[in-house]
Chains A and B, each alone.
Chain A
Amino acid sequence: MVRYAFYPGCSLDVSAVAYDESVKAVCAKLGVDLVPIADWNCCGATEYWGHDALIAQALIARNLARIDPELEQVTAPCAACYLNLAKVDRMMREVPAAAERVNRALAAGGLHYEPGRVRVRHLIDVLYEDVGRERLTEASTGSLDGLRVAPYYGCQVVRPFCDNDDSEQPVRMDEVLTWLGAEVVEYPVKSQCCGGHMSQISENEAFELIRRLLDCAHRSGAEVIACMCPMCQLNLDAYQGRVNHHFGTGYHLPVLFFTQVVGVALGIEHDVLGIGREIVPAREALRAHGATVVAAAEGGRDVP
């Protein structure tokens, strides 16, 4: 069994704690062994790059350097964290002078990172490729029961460091959720931008982008949106009420992390998956498909 270094990132600690809970529960159930990076630090999100480039790179590389030397792969569920780890590893591989600068900074803390030493992967990739169709289908309890899901990938998982899925119309989450019994709806805006941090600095600009994403999910008949990024989840879920207010619309679309949907399919109890932490509640949609019943009967006891 491959073990993976695990980089949770700051959002999973707090605002996206449901992502953390569901990732851990799903991975435990599927036998995916996650080893958190010891004393990891914030990856700097997008903010650091526009502030100070070498500090941005060094902060990210510190996490890469702290990965247990026995482990050869690292996985991160947060889109921005994944992108940052992949970006700095690739930059250090391709531009030796940049790698040398980063390592000079790391050396001040007694650390070193050999470019390319670990393979950086998003969790969807681990589920899709390493766990794979057969094991996922076997583990499914059928409790999704045709739940209509809009697969929302956002930007940073599929661009620009993803070399095994399409960056415009990716399919890996669609397939994983289909294997597990969801009905994945057509969602042509699946990799469009949610506005990122614009919801905090210039909300009218973000609101229009968010509205478009909600509208398309609504028209496609989705009951829930599944996403893979804490920022996307926050924008679509927490700001949904504000967007409705702003445009006079009445969207009611629960936004779950894809791992929560996977967890429901695996029969893991909703509380264990952090379902209920979303601002627009998902329970009703799940109940309509009998998911609660199955989940409660199966229990989540194999998850600590």
Chain B
Amino acid sequence: MTEVTLLEEVVADTPHGDRLRGCMQCGSCGGSCPNGAEMDHTPRALFAMLFAGQRDEVLSSNTMWQCVSCYSCTTRCPREIPITDLMYTLKRMAVGAGVARHSDAIALARVFTNMVERYGRSFEFGIATRYLLLHHPVAALKNAGLGLKMYGHGRMSLRPTRIESLDELHAIVDEARTIEFAERNPGGVTW
């Protein structure tokens, strides 16, 4: 049995991901990136590593964690490669492989997604306080002043809003998880 390469996995897990194979290493993506300076590797370099089969180096790179979803690269790429979506895919794979680099971004995403699954809505105050208090107690203090200002301007709610049909939402989310699990474990049991 031949081993599935990371490139194949990434392509399979991204809508229009097959276009990545047409990358011509022009560097437009890196040149467009507002946060390129903070990345270990530009998107172009990361893709070169992906083609070369450097699984561990790619997954442990900070590149995707520095991506802020501005879609500049995606819009400019001459080969119409969905680069931003590839960054999302690489984030998921890095977390899945347990080698993700940017713990803060992961922590924020976790707190956020938990809130959304619990209430059906995002809850900015809950997210900010939970994330900051758990991960950056010092910054929490610095940001407290900002929070108070926001509150004073009627821009912060201390209580979450819940949608009415939470059951429906949970059924959809659970089903999505089941589908993904079944796809990852073909022929396996899906509960």
Interface residues, chain A, with chain B CB atoms under 8 Å away: 10-11, 13-18, 39-42, 44-55, 57-59, 62, 83, 91, 94-95, 98, 101, 104-111, 155-156, 159-160, 167, 192-193, 195-198, 200-203, 205, 209, 238-239, 242, 276-279
Contacts and interface: CB of A to CB of B under 8 A. Distances in A.
Contact of A167 (B75, B84, B116, B150): B75
A277 B156 CA distance: 11
A45 B35 contact: no
Nearest to B85: A49
B89 interface: yes
Given A51-B92, A159-B74, A195-B34, A201 B105 contact: yes
Contacts of A98: 15
B179 interface: yes
B146 interface: yes
Given A52-B180, A160-B75, A197-B68, 7 more contacts: A10-B124, A17-B154, A45-B122, A46-B68, A52-B113, A109-B175, A201-B102
B153 A277 contact: yes
Query: Secondary structure at chain B's binding surface: helix, strand, loop or mixed?
Result: helix
A278 B155 CA distance: 9
Nearest to B177: A55
The size bracket of the interface on B is: 35 or more
Interface stretch (B23-31, B47-55, B160-168): B160-168
Interface of B: 13, 15-16, 34-35, 38, 64, 66, 68-72, 74-75, 84-85, 87-89, 91-92, 95, 102, 104-105, 108-110, 112-113, 116, 120-125, 128, 131, 139, 146, 149-150, 153-157, 161, 163-165, 168-169, 171-177, 179-180
